[in-house]
A and B are shown apart, each in its own frame.
Chain A
Amino acid sequence: MEYPKLLFAAISLSLLVCFSYGQRDVEPNQDVYTIEGRIFPPDTGIPPSWYSQTRILANGGEYIAILRKDNSFVFNHVPTGSYVIEVVNPTYSYEPVRVEINSKGKLRARKLNYIQTSTVDPVAYPLALTPLARIRYFQIREQWRATDFLYSPMVLMMVLPLVIIMILPKVMNDPETRKEMEHLNSLTRYDMPEMSEVLASFFTGGEKQKSKAVRKKKAQ
């Protein structure tokens, strides 16, 4: 469907929309706390860009912690509230954790559950995060296999005629099988009436019946 040409309205607009994190939650005399933890690097060793590519985000970047050389991290200036701590690394995945700071400054870490948000499944604090797995971004290409090659239509097209050409004449040359074949042929010949004959008899028969019926009607 194409858009109507007669009625239309401007789609573009000159609006300034700003999303700001900063204005929210910031009260000057609020107590602030720190969230601490450490990350265990993958067992295979520390990759070269490990320190610059590993970022620790609280609430998707509202607070950012940077990894130290000893793989520990600290979030500073965090007011009371609930924070989702996630480790972002392009190669390894880590499980996110929810950390809650109550009004008295007590910290509690628990497993992140977005569906049942009230379930408490405690996690050790200070956080100790271990890599879950290497992230798989790519589909694995199908491997070349001999069976795939053999069953491909191209190869079948080459092989089947070959079989028919090379093997069938040899089979036919064998006198016993020839006899058998002839026997089979004769069987089929006797059992199976000619298709055209069947059809012809069927139609002619039908016509006869029809004409009979007509005659009957006429007689009445």
Chain B
Amino acid sequence: MMARHLNLFIFMPQVFIILFSIFTVSQCLYEDQVGKFDWHQSFIGKLKFAFGDASGKRAIVATELNVVAALSLKTGNILWRHILEKDPQTNILFLSPTSSGEALVVTGGPKPLVRAFDPINGALAWEWTLPSTFPFDRILWAVSTEKLYALSLNEGEDFVVQQFNIRTGSQTSKWKTIVPWVHKSKCVPSRDLLICHSGKTLHTIRFSQKDAKPYPVELGQPIAQIESVKSGEKAGVFVDLSNLESGPSSQVVLFSDQGQTSVKCKPLSSPARWVFFDSVGESNIILQMVQRDEKLSIVTSDCISGNKIEESTGGVKYPADLGPPHVESVVCGSNHDMASCRLLINSPDQAITLVQYSGKVLWSREEALAQISAVEMMDLPVSDKDAAIEKEFDSKEAGVLGMFGRRLVSQALQAQHLLQTVFGLHDPIQPAGQRADLVRDDFGLHKMIVVATKAGKLFGLDNLNGEIIWQKALVNVDTRSMQLFIQRTTRHGPFPAQCLLLLKDKISKESILYTFNPITGEGSRRSLGYRVLQAMPLPVVDEESLRPILFLDSSEKVHIEPQSAISLVDPLASNTYMYVADPVTGVMTGYTLAQSTSERLVASRVWEVVFQPETQTIQSVVGKSPQERVHSQGRVLGDRSVLYKYVNPNLVAVVTQGTDTVHKYVLNVYLLDVVSGAIVFSISHKRAREPIHLVHTENWVVYTYFSEKWRRTEIAAIELYEGKTQSNSGTFSSLIAPVQPMVERQSYILPAMVQSMSPTITEKGITSRHILVGLANGAVLEVPWIFLDPRRPVTVTPEMREEGIIPYMPELPIPTESVINYNKTLPQISGIHTAPSGLESTSLVLVYGLDLFYTRVAPSKTFDLLKEDFDPFLISMVLIGLGLASYTTKRLASRKALKQAWK
């Protein structure tokens, strides 16, 4: 009886919170809270094509992520942006300005289109289709005087020119020119010329003319690569020469309209990617970007003589190992003055930088953030003052007197600090290399967002404003699978926090570890020498508070990182299990470390589940978040009995997509215990297909799929209960007679397309959980779990009403008030990361995709925070006023009593 009473007591806050959240329906923002605790950053992705428009104010760019945008040259901000189809086969093939100023974009893939955008507001000027049978991989595109040319190159034989009217898309003419030297990789169009190289010769031909004559140019040295000139009025190429004796050099060759050589500049020692035409003096000036010890500087030289004219004094900071930068575009003002020219530089780490001719950086954009693959939010280290207090308790061997002395010293320090803050005398001395404001706050709301991107670049972002604190580019890495682990948090005294990034080498495909400090970004890279199949952090820490991580390699050997922690594994080995899912073979395998010795770790197979690859393929495997805590063990029903949750930490949800001759698409969801290999529950949806998104926490699984039958997105919820009795309240064991859980399930219609889904998470799990759903229309919806509850009945009994269950409705509402990103539309959401804050009520949210959006949500309202309009000043004034009033009335009353006594 006593135990039950206690349980009920524990559930009370939860019940209260649930009831509270029904009546308030959902939380919304006030208009004056915009930007108060959220921020939004827009990105475009890795630069592919760019040009500066005629006004000299904006650059029109097209990127690898199928985005066409206009960037302000003054600030680097996005003026307008269009996100084209996100299809793995669709990509932007060509971007060029038309003679009337529009930005012409050619996209390939199964839906080839030619679109032209207004450069000022981004409106579509015209759009026409290309036949999908076009051989896009053999075509070079060019624009010339209201015509779009498609040059289809047949390797070493001929090329076919198709001329289109640029506005309507009607094919005006088509002809074939037989030239033996054409190869797609060796040719570039420049103005009206097609320029190709073979051996030591450059060939040019005017492609816009039907029977044009080719001209050869001998350069005398073997040509490695050519690139067309981007600035000026003349056609031309930058040539990279490869000479075995004197090393690589480069040369600029310019041509007249018909293709004859007009200017051949002197070969230069480093590659040139920019040429400037002095229209007055009829001379050409070559500008080069030269990389010298972590700096890029701009060198100006005369074309004919090759004499150096000037070298920029400043220089752009640039990591030496990053690989050469690429000058994507040169934007000059209309007055043809070299001083007004700016270079748009695209570096291999996906940063876009605008550099002035003098070497001054105008702005820089980190486009690597458009493709994030792993996120963690880290607590910041404590301030020096707090660290001093903590230090007091560090050494216990000091005697009573020593402790007392230390106590006095720290008290004195605190008093000094207090006085300093009161009188505004803050000491500016801060630890080296760290910013003053990067310290933990009282509520744990200030964190460091550690981000690993597909470009191989790591960032540390301040979560309050999105500012980049540190960045680090990793080179020669395969970033298709990346995993980020926290080995040590900032809470462990003198040791700095440590994160570990697991990724692969680009060439050897062997796994690499990058160990770094998440607060400063400093770290070291190490090759493991094997391919990691599975990685798992251990639940213990070593004497340096470092969490060891187990790696299972492709030959089923187990490794541990750091190696010294092997002694820690020994007592745990018999209870340690791992699993691996192979989407190709459809096999899931479970391993045990029980046969390990204190010197060597051995993984032996214990179970195997095969999802026949002929009938179904594994789409995703979703486990529970290791950070998650389940606060309540059950749910109080209307009749005051408790329905205990089936909380199995070893449960994973496996989603497979199968094809069937009858139903076409079949979606299967399996709940698998990865310790025992037992399938706890499975469900199959006929005629349901991807996109599938699944959330798995506590005792429930929520997933969305597209129903082919009804042509709508459906969201299904599965909830598992042990029943009215609990088998074991302490620890859950998968091995000791696992109970078959009770399953409640229900599905709802979600009138939108889903792109990503994630549950909120709080520190202790007391707060009710909401599900954040990223929709295709760019909204992130906060759906309370109560709406997805599988126990929502069609007819509500009074008992159920008391329990706080709302009646079943087939379609879930999408109230615009519960869109957490309000009018900041987020295109192509690829993930939502949630992290607990120091406040139990608040969960921190980072939505990533093409854009970054950070906010915080309070699923049960901020019950542990005073309201915003709470005014301590007013309250103290009222209290003082009341006190004064009572004192004066007391005096007045006594005077009156005295007067009456004298009467």
A interface residues with partner B (beta carbon < 8 Å):
1-22, 24, 26, 28, 32, 48-53, 55, 57, 59-64, 66-69, 73-74, 76-77, 82, 84, 86, 88, 90-91, 93, 112, 114-115, 117, 135-141, 154, 157-158, 165
Contacts and interface: CB of A to CB of B under 8 A. Distances in A.
Contact of A88 (B29, B536, B777): B777
B243 interface: no
Contacts of A137: 28-29, 816-817, 819, 822-823
A121 to B, nearest CB: 15
B417 interface: no
Contact of B132 (A24, A28, A88, A139): A28
27 contacts: A3-B649, A7-B575, A8-B539, A9-B579, A11-B536, A12-B535, A13-B581, A15-B618, A15-B620, A18-B88, A21-B86, A24-B689, A49-B80, A49-B121, A52-B81, A60-B776, A60-B777, A61-B776, A67-B124, A74-B127, A76-B129, A90-B778, A117-B710, A136-B817, A137-B823, A138-B28, A157-B882
A1 B111 CA distance: 53
A77 B630 CA distance: 50
By Cβ-Cβ distance, the 5 closest A-B pairs, closest first, are A60-B753, A60-B776, A52-B80, A4-B731, A11-B623
B123 A1 contact: no
A77 B112 CA distance: 8
A90 B823 contact: yes
Contacts of B133: 28
Majority secondary structure, A binding face: loop
A22 B882 contact: no
A191 to B, nearest CB: 32
Nearest to A83: B711
A74 B624 CA distance: 44
Contacts of B795: none
B509 to A, nearest CB: 13
Contact of B749 (A19, A115, A140, A157): A115
Contact of B712 (A10, A17, A117): A117
Indicate the member of A10, A20, A28, A48 with the most B CB atoms within 10 Å: A10
Contacts of A49: 80, 121
B660 to A, nearest CB: 15
Given A59-B753, A61-B85, A158-B878, 16 more contacts: A3-B629, A4-B731, A4-B732, A5-B731, A6-B575, A7-B734, A9-B675, A15-B581, A17-B619, A22-B110, A49-B80, A50-B121, A52-B79, A52-B82, A69-B124, A77-B112
Contact of B111 (A52, A53, A77): A77
B156 interface: no
B109 interface: yes
A165 B889 contact: yes
Interface string B618-633: 1111011110011111
B83 interface: yes
A28 B89 CA distance: 14
A1 B647 contact: yes
Contacts of B485: 12
B324 interface: no
Contacts of B874: 154
B710 A114 contact: yes
B777 A57 contact: yes
Nearest to B124: A66
Nearest to B583: A15
Nearest to B482: A14
A60 B110 CA distance: 18
A24 B733 CA distance: 43
